[in-house]
Structure formats: C-alpha cells, structure tokens
C-alpha cells in the first residue's frame, strides 16, 4: 500500500510517503487510522484531531471511514484543502 | 452543447488575457464570457511568498471531475481551469477559471461553481512565508468555503 | 474599501485583455478578479449586425448608479463597466464588467449584479439586422431578465 | 419640455425628439401620456400598450405614473430596455 501525507500532516509525521504492507486485520479506513496512531508520537500528533483528517483512496475523496480498503493501493492523508 | 473542459495543473504562470483571447478568438456564437482569476495577496505587505503544495495525480483528477460536473449542470461552450502549485509571490496568479456560454447566468454560475468546489475539494494546501523570515503558517480552511460549496446542492 | 467605479459608454470596441491588465498590473493586494464580456452572437449564422440604440446622457448616469450600488453592497477594490452602442457585428464585444476584490464571492456577485441591473435598467435597445437584408427586428425584453434583477432585492 | 423617443416607440412616432410647451393642465406623467395618445394615429400606435411604455423624467426612471411633472424639463418614452 502506498501511503501519502500532505501539508501539516506530512510535516508532523516527518515523511511525504511510505510503502507499507498492511496487516490483513486492517479492513476499513477507520481501522487503518486507528493503527496509524499507534505507530509513534509523530503519527499520534499528526492524526490527533479526527475532524480535520481527510482521506483519499486511490485519489478519490473518502468521506465514510467505514469504507473497506479492498482494491485500494493508494491512501492519502491530509488536512482540509485550501487551494484556489 | 456539452463543453469538453480543459484542466491544467502547472507550476508556471499563466496569462489571463491570452487565455481569454485563445478561447474567444474567431468565435461568433459565444454570448457570454466569465473569467475568474485568483491572485496571491500580500496581506498588507507582510507576505513574502505563498507556497502551494498539491497532490499531483489527484489534483488533476479532481479538477476534471468538478469541471465535468459544471458542464453537466450548465450549457457551457468552453470551460478552462488552471491551478498553479509551488511558490507564488504577491500579485501573481494562483488560479484561473474561464466559462463561456450563450447565456450570461450559465457562464457566471459555471465559473462560480468550479471555484467553490475547487476551494474545498481540490487537493491543494497553502503555506504563508512572511517577509520577517518567520516560519510559514499553513492557511486554515474556512467554514464559509464549505457553505459556499453546499449552496449548490 | 469603497471602489470608485469607472463607467464608459462608447461606440468603439474595447479589449477585455487590456482592460484586465490595466486593472491588476502592479497591484499586490487583489485576491479575486471577475470579468464578464458580453459578445454579439451570430444566431446560427443569420445575423449580419446588431444595432444598439442608446439614450446617451441617461445611459452613463444609469450605469454609474448601478455601479455605485454594487460598490456599496460589496467590498470591491475596482469596478469597470463599458457598454458600446452603434452597429456591432457577430463575435464583437458589446459589454464588459470587471470587478476586483479581496473576496471571490464579492467579485462574482458585484459583476453579476451589475449585469442583471444593466440588462433591465440601462437605456439601450437592440435591433437585429439579418444577412438576407430583411428589416431589423427589435429584440424583446425577457421576463427572466426582470427575475434575474429582482433576486437581488 | 424636451421629449425623447427611443427604439420602436421612436420609429412608430416617426420622430427622435420634440420641444413642446405642455399645457398647464398636464400635471402628471399619466396625464401627459393620455394627452400624447390624442396627438395622432402614430402616437396612439406607439403608446397603445401601457405595460410596455417606460418613462424617464430628467434621465431618471419613473415607475409611478402619478408622479408630478414639476421641475421636469426632459421626458423620455421608450420600450423595455434590452442592453447588455
């Protein structure tokens, strides 16, 4: 699984991206985020406020964190967007 | 008439005037042209540069998606969306939307719709770098931008 | 910031690109620029020319009045309104509105408001001359233009 | 009083403008229009449909035909506007 981080979430985690083999126990976006927060202080700090964490699966916005990860090979985590 | 929108995500600057000319030149059946240009403000003189981070693949896909929705909702002849990334100094262009139509309201609404969705849905993030050399601040998303988007529901 | 609007009623053509450039050049605190250009359509190829009659003194006064109302309602930095009169062939400019602001919605609304009021309140009348040489037809006012104006009440 | 006509109202009347001394009996816009219609077939034809007659007094729109003409030196008569 390719994981991408952007903006201050990227800065807090300290990495722009990772390639990770996810455990088969991680079936949904919520389970993925819960596991991410256990990976260290930087991850916990970056993801502490659920309401400002945005997720994209295969470059499509995902608003429902119960969505399953079947068929997904790219997950992006970022704060609310501020373009334009 | 369903326009095939043109979307460009690029680091280099664009020229609103040239894009407008290219879109309308030699055409004799466009009634209305609306352009929106978003520029970098100096925030009262304190801003050195605005840094735009983006999620490359998704940015193009999202802008295409938004532009195609606009073309479905309004009878647009042409729709162009350009969004820059990288470091942009005050007074320089960030984003351009041009919509043309036979009808003025369609051109206004099409361009306005694209801007409202782009603000909240396109994966770009702004960081401000100030002239005093202080570390950049990430711009916070605004509730009013969500509301501006939701009025189109 | 209350903009002092600029209004021009003229027979000669204008250049949207040049007007845009003149309005934004060297400025570093404009966030949003919206331009509306209204062009003469060829109506499927049958139109030879559009004739715009106007009531000279009142046209300028009305456009100034509409532009000043827009500047009171929205925080605009600049507002330009140009309206042509005389004979205009297909593909050529009729009207231009450019609004600049720190805020995108103010720029969109300011330009859209001016166009809606201009359509129903500015003393211009269109007559169509067709390629087959048939006598010109006066364009009829549309109910939807009244509605577009009334939505700002 | 300067009277101006525009678009098809001008064409139907056959004149772009006139200078007229109005009778003192004509005190309101409505009285002015009623008198105008008595001036001949061309005026009657031009002004036959009240709902499409627009009036400006001294270059300001007048939506209330009971408005008095005191202080007015220019009256314009025209159909609904179609600019833009």
Tokens at D75, concatenated: 């009256």
B63 close to C (CB below 8 A): no
Touch test C–B: 3 Cβ pairs or more under 8 Å: yes
Write out pLDDT tens, residues B25-41. Answer: 888 889 999 999 999 99
List the strands of the sheet with B124-130, edge to edge. B86-88, B47-54, B124-130, B137-138
Tokens at B84, concatenated: 């820059």
Burial of B70 (0-12, 13-18, 19+ CB in 10 A): buried
C16 close to B (CB below 8 A): yes
Q: What is the CA radius of gyration of chain B?
A: 16
Residue C31 near residue C1 (C-beta atoms within 8 A) = no
What is the Cα–Cα distance from B31 to A46, expressed in whole angstroms? 50
> Is position A57 within any domain?
yes
Taking an 8 Å cut-off on Cβ atoms, the answer to whether C32 and B37 are in contact is yes
* Chain C residue with Cα closest to D5: C55
Instruction: Indicate the number of domains in chain A.
Output: 1
Task: Note down the domain range covering A23.
Answer: 2-78
Picking from C81, C113, C58, the residue whose alpha carbon sits closest to that of residue C5 is C81
The CATH number of C6-140 is 3.90.1170.40
* Chain C residue with Cα closest to B119: C104
Mean pLDDT of C2-11: 92
Cross-chain CB nearest to D83 (options C61, C124, C138): C124
* Chain D residue with Cα closest to C82: D84
Taking an 8 Å cut-off on Cβ atoms, the answer to whether C37 and B32 are in contact is yes
CA-based torsion, A19, B120, A54, B133: positive or negative: positive
Residue C125 near residue C55 (C-beta atoms within 8 A) = no
Instruction: Report the mean per-residue pLDDT for chain B.
Output: 94
Of the CA atoms within 13 Å of residue B96, those in its CB half-sphere come to: 23
The neighbours of chain C, by the rule of 3 or more Cβ pairs under 8 Å, are B, D
Q: How confident is the model at residue A50 (pLDDT cuts 50, 70, 90)?
A: confident
> Is position D24 within any domain?
yes
Taking an 8 Å cut-off on Cβ atoms, the answer to whether C107 and B20 are in contact is no
CA-based torsion, D54, D60, D64, D69: positive or negative: negative
Picking from A36, A50, A47, the residue whose alpha carbon sits closest to that of residue A12 is A47
Residue A35 near residue A26 (C-beta atoms within 8 A) = yes
What is the Cα–Cα distance from D2 to D53, expressed in whole angstroms? 18
Taking an 8 Å cut-off on Cβ atoms, the answer to whether B24 and C39 are in contact is yes
C112-141 residues touching B, CB cutoff 8 A:
112, 115
Which position has the token pair 């100034």? C64
What CATH number should be reported for the domain holding residue D9? 3.10.20.30
Neighbour tally for A28: CB within 10 Å: 15
Write out pLDDT tens, residues B92-144. Answer: 999 999 999 999 999 999 999 999 999 999 999 999 999 998 878 899 999 99
> Is position A46 within any domain?
yes
The ipTM of this complex is: 0.94
> Is position D84 within any domain?
no
* A-to-B residue pairs, Cβ atoms closer than 8 angstroms: 72
Which position has the token pair 């004979």? C87
Q: What is the pTM of this model?
A: 0.95
Write out pLDDT tens, residues C93-146. Answer: 999 999 999 999 999 999 999 999 999 999 999 999 999 988 788 999 999 999
The ranges assigned to domains in chain C are 6-140
């Amino acid at each position: 699984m390719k994981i991408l981080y952007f903006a201050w979430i990227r800065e807090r985690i300290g990495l722009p991206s990772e390639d990770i083999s996810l455990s088969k126990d991680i079936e949904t976006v919520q389970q993925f985020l819960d596991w991410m927060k256990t990976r260290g202080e930087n991850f916990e700090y970056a993801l502490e406020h659920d309401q400002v964490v945005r997720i994209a699966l295969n470059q499509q916005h995902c608003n429902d964190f119960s969505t399953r990860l079947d068929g997904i090979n790219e997950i992006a985590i970022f704060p609310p967007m501020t373009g334009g | 008439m369903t326009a095939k929108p043109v979307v460009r995500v690029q680091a280099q600057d664009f020229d609103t005037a040239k894009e407008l000319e290219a879109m309308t030149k030699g055409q004799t059946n466009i009634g209305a042209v609306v352009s929106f240009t978003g520029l970098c403000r100096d925030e009262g003189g304190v801003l050195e540069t605005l840094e735009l981070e983006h999620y490359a693949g998704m940015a193009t896909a999202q802008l295409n998606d938004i532009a195609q929705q606009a073309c479905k909702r309004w009878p647009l002849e042409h729709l162009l969306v350009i969004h820059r990334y990288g470091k942009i100094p005050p007074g320089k262009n960030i984003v351009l939307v041009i919509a043309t139509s036979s009808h003025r309201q369609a051109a206004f609404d099409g361009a306005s719709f694209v801007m409202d969705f782009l603000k909240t849905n396109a994966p770009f993030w702004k960081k401000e770098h100030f002239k005093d050399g202080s570390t950049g601040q990430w711009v916070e998303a605004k509730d009013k931008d969500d509301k501006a988007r939701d009025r189109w529901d």
